[in-house]
């Protein structure tokens, strides 16, 4: 297993701190401000979640963002969507990033510090979701690029908010506000921005008072069904996304 | 693949029109007014959804009804529920109608023009559901005939609105109004009758602006889970329904 | 198959009465008052649900409690959680109690007469849930004992109320009131205490007017999906709970 | 849990003896000679396997037959295949007999003392199969009655001997001899008749020297996949068999 | 449902004849001699199997080939593998051809008249496979074109002959002769060429003496598991094949 | 992704060399001779397979052993099976080692250089298995330690060699020789010791001549079903193994 010091400073877009009782806080960021998602962060997060999951010193994870949004900007830098070889990297990483996140064997609290419109499926693998009142959800980038949202968006949203609601959300690029998200069951609790982390730590503190194996195996038991869902849907979804990207790539070259 | 002209006028209970950008409108009807569901329409719709699914010219489907209800009348004409040989036809068609509807490889918008109390499971395979304020849902015919609602009603309602809610809906022949249906996630949006089709076309228009493969593979990805649910539940459900019908048939003959 | 008289008086913690039309009422109790759940009732209920399921004379089951709570007290008497051999009994019974309850081949109405904070997963296998206004749900005992809630709590709550809502409920020992439970789809209807059984009987009476095979096979069809969920999640969940209990047992012995 | 003395003499068609180390021998018989399978044994075996599975005193089960065949005669006595109400009993029992056999939480050795042409699917749920040189397998009764072999024959044979081999076996009423059965993987070992039980006891003796939980959980782990197969295939198969029986019943009445 | 005369002469590459007792013989051919598989036959067979499955007059199907091979030549004519739009046609048809073949609700006997090295997965969906002594199996075309054998070859071969055997067969382009194929369970029986059809008709004749529903529902029950396998593996496999084809297409254009 | 030089010398028990065309040879060993499996190699191999799978430079993997056995010695050094905390490490690693091996996105050839009696389930995840004539298979260690073989042995052996054969193999600690293993489908080909690696390289060389994405996605497609099997069976199996180990641990302490 890995040692915290060996990886804590390894990730340029994730600031890691850990409390004495093993609560790991992960702040996603770009130069200390709101994360700009790009091809490099896609690769980096595969490794980030892998290391977090391997370290038995982590007893609970709080995942949050810097600045005023969780993730709402995406930049094509570092992505090659439009050639099969380039897409292969996205396909490999896209499968691994979700399975690594899901394989973190301790509870994950997402503390959403604002809009979440890029890779919102990460949030759906958290067990508890806190959100500021200005948090909104949407799937922006796929249809903006003209490609299939096949990276888990297509299967996890219907799983979490219901079949028709989830399919409508994806196809209409619907914007869901914090209050509605709470009603739909994506958000566990709405918390003012200034109390967001404090509240996450309160909840975390109560959980980590339980014996370590109990905390860990409760996460394993609670996410068993999601493991199969991710395994069955994400590889296939990404393959369909890849064909659609190859098609978009060809039209652009013509 | 098939050509639109080859099948557009083939279906006495479905009026088909298609816009230049490939949005197919399907209006279910009986002599131009609200559909009366019977054994002949049961057979006809198997073929209808098959042809729609095979035609690559269809880029999105809007499914609606004529008159003041989507489907709320059923007539025994053309059905033979009570002999094993007669039921065999219903069993074969009942499996095929749902798998053909689900295999339509482009998004389906249901535009419900009023009460939907017969074969409401068709609606649950649509990706976006618009409904007029007077739309209500119920499963009327099965318990009226004294038989098991095993044609997909039993599995799709719990899938879409939740396990206990769905089982209660079926067992108590509950009536769900449009507003409640929106809260429960069956209806994506309530729309005044006079704007119903217009609104469906607006949404359709935005979707079909995306590249054709993207639109199609998004439907495929979004419905992957439902494919297994239908495959695993409908054949078995219909077989149980068939035994219950044979039992009812015997009591009537005695 | 079994005969009602052979088992009706066999269960010290369940009072059984059956109407002429086959509606079986099961009142869980301890000495006539609110049930105190312990190791003996755990064993007894395996057998109770087995006998109910085997008796074709039962056409519908109403499950309720005595006193002012459905189940909200647990006593360690009769449980040996902390040795592998002792836990083996809990593991065997824990798997069987849920599969026997689910295998009851007729509809089950839970009539909750108050707080339900112990083994609330029983309720989630009922098809219709009525509750008094003072009913609340929580999972109290597992985290109080420091062990994994792996007996079905972990899989059935996310199934019934949604993935994130269910995981949050378990991890935060959340208390859900009757009104919220209705909104979340656990409770079908809130009913004043004095009308609770009357209302359950009304609903039951309408259902048992249908032909017996129809009533039975509708339950079978409606619960098909839950059968797999229980089979796949409960054995594994209980095994994880067992390891966590062995760990707690060791710490106590040191 | 149950006590051996409470059920050892309860079953007219099964002689039960148990060694000091917990090896239970079950000899199926009719009046001490080869079993004649009928409607009464169908019901009796549901209960037999239930009791065996509940008794923690059983550490391993040897299942064999009296006389010169394991099971190769069937008698319509006690069966009512041809009315829906009569078939319902077969449907309920048919599901339960396999799930109760599979739920026996200790290894099962089938010691086949000759031809096995009726309910051969029981054997496929055993973990180790010994057979005399004159043992043959076939599915005789279903096609002789003109009905679907939907009681597990249809799913377990392809599972054990391969997809096409299994389907061919059922559709052609193929006879498989002991040697071929060994090659196909149904029979673990061919043993002369006079050594059959001795050999079963040797193997049993070695297994029960392991710790009790180890023996039990190895069976549970080894049969996990079969549990789902049985759950998913047997109810549906029996429902189809029931419709085919209702059809045969009608032709006979005409 | 359809009428035999309406489709019997519709398929240029399949000669259809039907006996009085409903045994349909389908001879795949090109101008009366061994079939040359190409893009047109790919499309034609989707429709062929659809019509066969819809016609209740078909009580059993014998599938064979003309000339000295079942299928062992493939021609690129009519295929566009290398553009996303062209591949989309292959993807749609590839999914449909297997599900339509599997949905034929009566037993299918494959009577292999020689080498089967193209689309051999069709054969694996038959229930009984007869083969001449010179029949060999291999998957030739995919690796010859440099693409993934994702059309069912990848999942059905391991299902039928075992996991490692099937994967080795695909990856090494292994040639399996008739005798070995019988040992591995692909071939039910080896039959001299001059007796091939006669033998298929003998077997067919015995099966169709059973009541029609029994014959049909036995096929449905026997293929239930394959339905899920095909549904879960073929869409995904074809999507991966499509990406690999796009990659090959790009290299050729450079 | 990772670079070969970064990890090639990182593993004390695995010698890694890679040919120019990307064929990676992995020789498991202890000080250059036959591997002695212990708690340290258990941990090391999790990481080994992870790194191999992440490196796009690997186009095919040959897995073999040093000395005269693949793996047939196990040493308790570095394992703590008998405390819940100690077993937790084994549980975490045991799940990860198989999923990391399976997630290697290129074909794996196992070249077995002799007896394989410890962790033989690794071999079953290879796509092609070559073995020397003296190779034998058995599951030695679990029953020697008195614990459940729940690490994949219990599910992968029945998957690969058939349900009853696999269960018999585990329960009787059966020894299977090379020739029988070939007949049962575990071994693809028997190869004299002096030609073992040469033959593996021949096969590898032919496969890697195909385009890289084709090679990779063929492995992904061929192993899709195993991914679910491993996910569903290994966590649960290991949890049962853990309880049995805790029981053994307690008896030893008494």
Per-residue pLDDT of chain F (254 residues; tens, 9 = 90+): 458 999 999 999 999 999 999 999 999 999 999 999 999 999 999 999 999 999 999 999 999 999 999 999 999 999 998 888 999 999 999 999 999 999 999 999 999 999 999 999 999 999 999 999 999 999 989 999 999 999 999 999 999 999 999 999 999 999 999 999 999 999 999 999 999 999 999 999 999 999 999 999 999 999 999 999 999 999 999 999 999 999 998 887 65
Percentage of chain A surpassing pLDDT 90? 94
Instruction: Pick left, alpha or beta for residue D180 (phi over 0 → left; psi -120 to 50 → alpha; otherwise beta).
Output: alpha
Chain-chain contact of D167 with E217 (C-beta, under 8 angstroms) = no
Distance, in angstroms, between F2 CA and closest chain A CA? 10
Residue C1 pLDDT exceeds 50: no
Residue of C120, C122, C178, C222 to mutate, interface with B, max B Cβ within 10 Å:
C222
Q: Residue A98's closest CA among A155, A49, A41?
A: A49
Q: Band the pLDDT of A254: cuts 50, 70, 90.
A: low
Residue E136 has pLDDT above 50, yes or no: yes
Give dist(CA E248, CA E83) in Å, integer.
10
Q: What is the pLDDT of residues C179-224, one digit of tens each?
A: 999 999 999 999 999 999 999 999 999 999 999 999 999 999 999 9
Report the residue of A243, A244, A247, A248 to disrupt the E interface, i.e. the one with the largest count of E CBs within 10 Å: A243
Closest CA relative to residue D84, chosen from B87, B142, C223, B249? B249
DSSP structural state of residue F45: H
**Burial class of residue D2 (count of CB atoms within 10 Å of its CB; 0-12, 13-18, 19+):** middle
D250 has pLDDT over 50 = yes
**Given a cut of 80, is residue A19 above it in pLDDT?**
yes
- Joined together, the tokens standing for residue E146 give 């440099």
Task: Return the DSSP state at D83.
Answer: S
Report pLDDT for D252.
Answer: 78
pLDDT at C45 over 50: yes
What is the reported pLDDT for D254? 59
Q: With the CA atoms of A62, A66, A69 and A73 taken in that order, what torsion angle do they form, in degrees rounded to the nearest 10?
A: -110
Q: Give the DSSP letter of residue D9.
A: T
Q: What is the 3-state secondary structure (H, E, C) of chain C?
A: CCCHHHHCCCCCCEEEEECCCCEEEEEECECCECCEECHHHHHHHHHHHHHHHHCCCCCEEEEEECCCCCECEECCCCCCCCCHHHHHHHHHHHHHHHHHHHCCCCCEEEEECCCECCCCHHHHCCCEEEECCCCEECCCHHHHHCCCCCCCHHHHHHHHHCHHHHHHHHHCCCCEEHHHHHHHCCCCEECCHHHHHHHHHHHHHHHHCCCHHHHHHHHHHHHHHHHHHHHHHHHHHHHHHHHHHHHHHHHHHC
| Predicted local distance difference test score (pLDDT) of residue B185 | 98
Which pLDDT score is estimated for A1?
A: 46
Kindly state the average pLDDT of the residues D126-133: 98
pLDDT digits 0-9 by tens, B78-129: 999 888 899 999 999 999 999 999 999 999 999 999 999 999 999 999 999 9
DSSP class of F57? T
Considering only CB atoms, B163 lies closest to which of C160, C203, C220, namely C160
Tokens 């098909």 -> residue: C224
Decide if F89 and A227 are in contact by the 8 Å CB cutoff: no
Catalytic residues of B: 121
Cβ distance F239 to C243 less than 8 Å, yes or no, reads yes
Q: Pick from E39, E99, E221, E231 the residue to mutate for testing the B interface (most B CBs within 10 Å).
A: E231
- Chain E environment of B89 (Cβ under 8 Å): 1, 56
What mean pLDDT is predicted for residues B220-239?
97
Of C87, C91, C236, Cβ closest to residue F236: C236
Q: How far apart are the CA of A82 and the nearest CA of chain F, in angstroms? A: 15
Cβ-nearest to E84 among A83, A91, A250: A250
What's the pLDDT tens digit per position in C14-35? 999 999 999 999 999 999 999 9
Task: Give CA separation, C35 vs C178, C193, D1, F26, F190, in Å.
Answer: 20, 17, 21, 62, 66
How many angstroms separate the Cα of F66 from the Cα of each of B166, E181, F16, F23, F195? 60, 35, 12, 18, 15
Task: Say what the pLDDT of residue C250 is.
Answer: 84
Q: Is the pLDDT of residue A253 over 80?
A: no
Nearest C-alpha of chain F: how many angstroms from E162?
6
- The number of C-alpha atoms within 13 Å of A58 and in the hemisphere containing its C-beta is 32
Confidence (pLDDT) at B1: 46
Query: Is the pLDDT confidence value at B60 over 90?
Result: yes
Q: Which positions in chain F have a beta carbon within 8 angstroms of at least one beta carbon in chain E? A: 107, 124, 126-129, 159-162, 185-188, 203, 206-207, 210-211, 213-214, 217-218, 220-226
Sorted by sequence, the CB contacts under 8 Å of residue D251 that are 6+ apart come out as E211
The per-residue DSSP string of E172-199 comes to TT--EEHHHHHHHTS-SEE--GGGHHHH
How high is the pLDDT of residue D1?
46
CB C223 within 8 A of CB C124: no
pLDDT the model gives residue A252:
78
- Which residues are registered as beta bridge partners of F23? F60
Q: Which residues of E touch D163 (CB under 8 A)?
A: 124, 159-160, 185, 225-226
pLDDT at res. E167: 98
At residue E254 the predicted structure's pLDDT band, cuts being 50, 70 and 90, is low
C162, closest residue in chain B (CA to CA): B162
F164 to D128: CB separation less than 8 angstroms, yes or no: yes
Q: Which residues of F are catalytic?
A: 121
Q: What is the rounded CA–CA span in Å between residue D174 and residue E189?
A: 12
Are F236 and D224 an interchain contact pair (Cβ–Cβ within 8 Å)? Answer: yes
Instruction: Write down the pLDDT at residue F3.
Output: 87
Do D117 and D138 meet the contact criterion of CB atoms below 8 Å apart? yes
Q: Do C244 and A213 touch (CB under 8 A)?
A: yes
Closest alpha carbon within chain A to C244: A214
How many CA within 13 A on the CB side of residue C103?
27
Interface probe for E, chosen from A230, A246, A248, A254 (most Cβ of E below 10 Å), is A246
- Smallest Cβ distance to F84: which of C236, C239, C250? C250
Q: In chain E, which residues have their Cβ closer than 8 Å to the Cβ of A88? A: 243
The residue count for chain F: 254
| Percent of chain D predicted with pLDDT > 90 | 94
Chain D residues bordering chain C (beta-carbon distance below 8 Å): 1, 43, 50, 56, 84-85, 88-89, 92, 96, 99, 103, 105, 212-213, 216, 220, 224, 227-228, 231-232, 235
Cβ B80 vs Cβ B87: under 8 Å: yes
* Residue that has been written with the tokens 């015919």 in this structure: B141
Q: Would you tell me how many other CB atoms lie within 10 Å of the CB of residue E15?
A: 16
Residues D212-226, mean pLDDT to the nearest whole number = 98
Determine contact, residues A164/B129, Cβ cutoff 8 Å: yes
Chains C, F: CB pairs < 8 Å: 39
**What chains are in contact with C, requiring at least 3 Cβ pairs below 8 Å?**
A, B, D, F
| Closest to D65 (Cα-Cα) out of D124, D115, D17 | D115
pLDDT at residue number D2: 55
CB nearest to B214's CB, from A148, A236, A237: A148
Q: Order of strands across the sheet with B189-190?
A: B14-18, B23-28, B60-65, B108-112, B128-131, B189-190
pLDDT for position E26: 98
- For residues A208-223, give the mean pLDDT: 98
CA distance C110 to chain A (A): 24
- Please say whether the beta carbons of A106 and A219 come within 8 A: yes
Q: Which residue has the tokens 């918390």?
A: A191
Token code pair at residue C59 = 């056409």
The answer to whether C221 contacts B244, with C-beta atoms less than 8 Å apart, is: no
With contact defined as 3+ CB pairs under 8 Å, the chains touching A are B, C, E, F
Q: Hey, what are B208's tokens?
A: 């079909």
CB burial of residue F157 (10 Å; 0-12, 13-18, 19+): buried
pLDDT, tens only, B196-215: 999 999 999 999 999 999 99
Provide the shortest C-alpha distance from residue A233 to chain E (in Å). Answer: 9
pLDDT score recorded for residue C2: 55
* E51: three-class secondary structure by DSSP: helix
Q: pLDDT grade, residue B145 (50/70/90)?
A: very high
Residue with tokens 């100690």: F86
Mean per-residue pLDDT over chain A, rounded: 96
Report the Cα–Cα distance between both ends of chain B, in Å, rounded.
50
Do D239 and B244 lie within an 8 Å CB cutoff? no
**Quick one: angle between helices C212-253 and F212-253, nearest 10?**
60
């Amino acid at each position: 297993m890995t040692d915290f010091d060996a990886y804590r400073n390894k990730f340029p877009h994730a600031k890691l701190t850990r409390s004495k009782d093993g609560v790991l806080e992960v702040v996603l960021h770009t130069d200390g401000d709101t994360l700009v998602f790009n091809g490099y962060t896609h690769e980096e997060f595969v490794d980030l979640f892998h290391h977090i999951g391997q370290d038995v010193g982590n007893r609970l994870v709080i995942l949050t963002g810097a600045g005023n949004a969780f993730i709402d900007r995406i930049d094509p830098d570092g992505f090659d969507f439009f050639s099969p070889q380039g897409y292969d990297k996205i396909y490999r990483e896209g499968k691994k990033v979700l399975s690594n996140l899901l394989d973190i064997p301790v509870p994950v609290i997402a503390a959403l510090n604002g809009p979440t419109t890029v890779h919102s499926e990460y949030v759906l693998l958290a067990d508890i979701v806190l959100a500021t009142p200005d948090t909104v959800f949407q799937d922006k980038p796929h249809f903006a690029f003209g490609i299939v949202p096949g990276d888990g968006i297509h299967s996890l949203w219907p799983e979490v908010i219901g079949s028709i609601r989830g399919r409508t959300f994806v196809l209409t690029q619907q914007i869901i506000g914090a209050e509605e998200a709470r009603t739909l069951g994506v958000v566990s609790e709405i918390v003012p921005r200034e109390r967001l982390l404090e509240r996450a730590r309160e909840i975390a503190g109560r959980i980590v008072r339980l014996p370590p194996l109990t905390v860990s195996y409760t996460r394993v038991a609670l996410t068993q069904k999601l493991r199969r869902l991710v395994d069955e849907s994400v590889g296939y979804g990404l393959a369909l996304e890849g064909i659609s990207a190859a098609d978009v790539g060809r039209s652009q070259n013509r």
